[in-house]
A and B are shown apart, each in its own frame.
Chain A
Protein backbone atom coordinates (compact mmCIF):
# COMPACT_ATOMS: atom_id res chain seq x y z
CA UNK A 1 0.00 0.00 0.00
CA UNK A 2 1.25 3.46 -0.91
CA UNK A 3 1.83 5.51 2.24
CA UNK A 4 1.31 8.96 0.68
CA UNK A 5 -0.65 8.93 -2.55
CA UNK A 6 -1.41 11.81 -4.90
CA UNK A 7 -3.71 12.13 -7.86
CA UNK A 8 -3.30 12.88 -10.66
CA UNK A 9 0.35 12.03 -11.32
CA UNK A 10 0.39 13.97 -14.57
CA UNK A 11 -1.75 16.94 -15.52
CA UNK A 12 -1.58 19.07 -18.65
CA UNK A 13 -3.91 22.05 -18.75
CA UNK A 14 -4.35 25.41 -20.38
CA UNK A 15 -3.61 28.80 -18.87
CA UNK A 16 -6.52 30.25 -16.97
CA UNK A 17 -7.98 26.90 -15.97
CA UNK A 18 -8.64 25.79 -12.39
CA UNK A 19 -7.29 22.42 -11.24
CA UNK A 20 -7.00 20.35 -8.08
CA UNK A 21 -4.49 17.82 -6.82
CA UNK A 22 -5.58 15.37 -4.17
CA UNK A 23 -3.44 13.76 -1.49
CA UNK A 24 -4.11 11.03 1.03
CA UNK A 25 -1.85 9.40 3.60
CA UNK A 26 -2.47 6.12 5.40
CA UNK A 27 0.38 6.46 7.90
CA UNK A 28 -1.78 7.89 10.66
CA UNK A 29 0.26 11.09 10.62
CA UNK A 30 -1.18 14.34 11.96
CA UNK A 31 0.74 16.76 9.73
CA UNK A 32 0.67 17.13 5.96
CA UNK A 33 2.53 19.36 3.53
CA UNK A 34 2.64 20.62 -0.02
CA UNK A 35 6.05 21.19 -1.57
CA UNK A 36 6.78 22.58 -5.02
CA UNK A 37 9.73 21.50 -7.17
CA UNK A 38 10.47 23.93 -9.97
CA UNK A 39 12.17 23.31 -13.30
CA UNK A 40 15.59 23.67 -11.69
CA UNK A 41 14.71 20.91 -9.25
CA UNK A 42 14.58 23.30 -6.29
CA UNK A 43 12.19 22.09 -3.59
CA UNK A 44 10.34 24.53 -1.41
CA UNK A 45 7.49 24.23 1.05
CA UNK A 46 4.17 25.85 0.24
CA UNK A 47 1.79 24.84 3.02
CA UNK A 48 1.53 22.66 6.07
CA UNK A 49 -1.51 21.46 8.01
CA UNK A 50 -1.53 19.95 11.47
CA UNK A 51 -4.78 18.20 12.42
CA UNK A 52 -6.64 20.11 9.70
CA UNK A 53 -5.26 23.46 10.85
CA UNK A 54 -3.06 25.57 8.56
CA UNK A 55 0.25 26.17 10.33
CA UNK A 56 2.73 26.97 7.57
CA UNK A 57 1.82 29.27 4.71
CA UNK A 58 4.84 30.39 2.76
CA UNK A 59 4.68 33.24 0.28
CA UNK A 60 2.35 31.63 -2.21
CA UNK A 61 -0.10 33.43 -4.53
CA UNK A 62 -3.72 33.51 -3.36
CA UNK A 63 -4.59 31.43 -6.42
CA UNK A 64 -3.30 28.43 -4.45
CA UNK A 65 -5.73 27.21 -1.80
CA UNK A 66 -5.11 24.11 0.28
CA UNK A 67 -7.96 22.25 1.94
CA UNK A 68 -7.76 19.57 4.60
CA UNK A 69 -11.11 17.81 5.17
CA UNK A 70 -9.48 15.52 7.75
CA UNK A 71 -5.97 14.82 8.95
CA UNK A 72 -5.46 12.06 6.35
CA UNK A 73 -6.23 14.29 3.37
CA UNK A 74 -4.75 17.50 2.03
CA UNK A 75 -5.88 18.81 -1.35
CA UNK A 76 -4.44 21.65 -3.38
CA UNK A 77 -6.64 23.78 -5.59
CA UNK A 78 -5.11 26.20 -8.07
CA UNK A 79 -7.17 28.93 -9.73
CA UNK A 80 -6.37 30.77 -12.96
CA UNK A 81 -3.32 28.68 -13.79
CA UNK A 82 -0.27 30.46 -15.17
CA UNK A 83 2.71 29.17 -17.15
CA UNK A 84 4.93 29.64 -14.10
CA UNK A 85 2.83 27.20 -12.13
CA UNK A 86 4.30 24.35 -14.16
CA UNK A 87 6.17 22.22 -11.64
CA UNK A 88 6.08 18.99 -9.72
CA UNK A 89 3.96 19.26 -6.59
CA UNK A 90 4.75 16.90 -3.74
CA UNK A 91 2.46 16.02 -0.92
CA UNK A 92 4.13 14.82 2.27
CA UNK A 93 3.27 13.85 5.82
CA UNK A 94 4.86 13.43 9.24
CA UNK A 95 3.96 12.63 12.82
CA UNK A 96 5.40 15.37 14.92
CA UNK A 97 7.44 14.29 17.87
CA UNK A 98 7.13 10.58 17.24
CA UNK A 99 8.68 9.74 13.89
CA UNK A 100 12.42 9.10 14.17
CA UNK A 101 14.14 12.34 13.39
CA UNK A 102 10.76 13.93 12.64
CA UNK A 103 10.99 12.35 9.22
CA UNK A 104 8.78 13.66 6.44
CA UNK A 105 7.50 11.10 3.94
CA UNK A 106 6.74 12.15 0.40
CA UNK A 107 4.23 11.09 -2.19
CA UNK A 108 5.25 10.36 -5.78
CA UNK A 109 4.59 13.88 -6.97
CA UNK A 110 2.08 15.42 -9.39
CA UNK A 111 3.64 16.80 -12.55
CA UNK A 112 1.65 19.86 -13.65
CA UNK A 113 2.25 21.37 -17.07
CA UNK A 114 0.47 24.58 -18.02
CA UNK A 115 0.35 25.34 -21.74
Chain B
Protein backbone atom coordinates (compact mmCIF):
# COMPACT_ATOMS: atom_id res chain seq x y z
CA UNK B 1 0.00 0.00 0.00
CA UNK B 2 1.14 3.51 -0.74
CA UNK B 3 1.91 5.74 2.21
CA UNK B 4 2.87 9.39 2.41
CA UNK B 5 4.79 10.74 5.40
CA UNK B 6 5.20 14.33 6.46
CA UNK B 7 7.52 14.32 9.45
CA UNK B 8 7.14 18.00 10.36
CA UNK B 9 3.79 18.69 12.06
CA UNK B 10 4.63 22.39 12.31
CA UNK B 11 7.08 24.77 10.71
CA UNK B 12 7.71 28.47 11.11
CA UNK B 13 9.33 30.95 8.74
CA UNK B 14 9.90 34.68 8.79
CA UNK B 15 8.39 36.80 6.11
CA UNK B 16 10.61 37.02 3.00
CA UNK B 17 12.63 34.00 4.08
CA UNK B 18 12.73 30.51 2.53
CA UNK B 19 11.29 27.37 4.06
CA UNK B 20 11.33 23.72 2.98
CA UNK B 21 8.60 21.25 3.86
CA UNK B 22 9.50 17.55 3.77
CA UNK B 23 7.58 14.65 2.31
CA UNK B 24 8.50 11.03 1.74
CA UNK B 25 6.39 8.31 0.21
CA UNK B 26 6.43 4.59 -0.21
CA UNK B 27 5.41 2.91 -3.43
CA UNK B 28 6.34 0.04 -5.71
CA UNK B 29 5.01 1.86 -8.76
CA UNK B 30 7.31 3.49 -11.29
CA UNK B 31 4.75 5.88 -12.79
CA UNK B 32 2.87 8.18 -10.46
CA UNK B 33 2.11 11.79 -9.62
CA UNK B 34 2.93 13.88 -6.58
CA UNK B 35 1.17 16.98 -5.38
CA UNK B 36 1.34 19.66 -2.75
CA UNK B 37 -1.99 21.10 -1.63
CA UNK B 38 -2.43 24.15 0.59
CA UNK B 39 -5.30 24.43 3.05
CA UNK B 40 -5.70 27.93 4.55
CA UNK B 41 -8.03 28.60 7.50
CA UNK B 42 -10.91 28.82 5.02
CA UNK B 43 -10.49 25.01 4.66
CA UNK B 44 -10.39 25.07 0.88
CA UNK B 45 -7.91 22.64 -0.68
CA UNK B 46 -5.78 24.56 -3.17
CA UNK B 47 -3.34 22.90 -5.55
CA UNK B 48 0.12 24.40 -5.14
CA UNK B 49 2.27 22.31 -7.42
CA UNK B 50 2.41 18.90 -9.10
CA UNK B 51 5.19 16.63 -10.32
CA UNK B 52 5.06 13.72 -12.75
CA UNK B 53 7.41 10.95 -11.65
CA UNK B 54 8.68 10.36 -15.17
CA UNK B 55 9.95 13.94 -15.37
CA UNK B 56 13.43 14.45 -13.99
CA UNK B 57 13.09 18.22 -13.94
CA UNK B 58 11.76 19.64 -10.70
CA UNK B 59 8.46 21.48 -11.01
CA UNK B 60 8.28 25.18 -10.20
CA UNK B 61 5.35 27.58 -9.80
CA UNK B 62 6.47 31.13 -9.10
CA UNK B 63 7.77 31.12 -5.50
CA UNK B 64 7.06 27.42 -5.05
CA UNK B 65 9.42 24.68 -6.19
CA UNK B 66 9.97 21.05 -5.40
CA UNK B 67 12.99 18.86 -4.88
CA UNK B 68 11.96 15.50 -6.30
CA UNK B 69 14.33 12.64 -5.53
CA UNK B 70 12.76 9.56 -7.08
CA UNK B 71 15.30 7.04 -5.83
CA UNK B 72 14.98 8.35 -2.30
CA UNK B 73 11.18 8.68 -2.66
CA UNK B 74 11.37 12.21 -1.42
CA UNK B 75 9.30 15.20 -2.55
CA UNK B 76 10.00 18.38 -0.61
CA UNK B 77 8.38 21.78 -1.17
CA UNK B 78 10.42 24.97 -1.07
CA UNK B 79 8.66 28.28 -0.55
CA UNK B 80 10.81 31.29 -1.37
CA UNK B 81 10.18 34.86 -0.26
CA UNK B 82 7.52 33.68 2.20
CA UNK B 83 4.43 35.84 2.55
CA UNK B 84 1.85 36.10 5.31
CA UNK B 85 -0.68 34.56 2.94
CA UNK B 86 1.41 31.39 2.77
CA UNK B 87 0.38 30.51 6.32
CA UNK B 88 -1.68 27.31 6.01
CA UNK B 89 -1.65 23.54 6.32
CA UNK B 90 0.32 21.94 3.52
CA UNK B 91 -0.48 18.42 2.40
CA UNK B 92 1.71 16.20 0.29
CA UNK B 93 -0.23 13.72 -1.84
CA UNK B 94 0.47 10.79 -4.14
CA UNK B 95 -1.52 9.28 -6.96
CA UNK B 96 -1.00 6.60 -9.58
CA UNK B 97 -2.29 7.24 -13.11
CA UNK B 98 -5.86 6.20 -13.70
CA UNK B 99 -6.26 3.53 -16.33
CA UNK B 100 -9.91 3.32 -17.21
CA UNK B 101 -10.98 3.87 -13.63
CA UNK B 102 -10.23 6.53 -11.11
CA UNK B 103 -7.35 6.35 -8.70
CA UNK B 104 -7.37 8.00 -5.33
CA UNK B 105 -5.12 10.60 -3.79
CA UNK B 106 -3.25 9.39 -0.74
CA UNK B 107 -2.44 12.26 1.60
CA UNK B 108 0.20 12.84 4.23
CA UNK B 109 -0.78 14.11 7.66
CA UNK B 110 0.04 17.70 6.83
CA UNK B 111 2.48 20.38 7.98
CA UNK B 112 1.19 23.58 9.54
CA UNK B 113 3.23 26.53 8.32
CA UNK B 114 3.35 29.74 10.35
CA UNK B 115 4.69 32.92 8.78
CA UNK B 116 5.98 35.54 11.21
CA UNK B 117 6.82 39.19 10.72
CB of A90 within 8 A of CB of B45, answer yes
The digit string for A67-111, where 1 denotes a CB below 8 A from any CB of B, is 000000000000000000000101010101100111111111101
Which range holds the interface residue count of chain B? 20 to 34
CB of B102 within 8 A of CB of A103, answer no
Residues of A within 8 A of B35 (CB): 101, 103
What is the CB-to-nearest-CB distance from B87 to chain A, in angstroms, rounded to a whole number? 15
CB of B107 within 8 A of CB of A101, answer no
Interface of A is mostly: strand
CB of B107 within 8 A of CB of A44, answer yes
* Number of chain A residues close to chain B: CB under 8 A: 31
Residues of A within 8 A of B43 (CB): 88, 108-109, 111
CB of B50 within 8 A of CB of A103, answer yes
With A102-B95, A102-B98 as contacts: A42 and B104 at CB distance below 8 Å: no
With A43-B91, A101-B35, A101-B51 as contacts: A94 and B102 at CB distance below 8 Å: yes
Residues of A within 8 A of B95 (CB): 102, 104
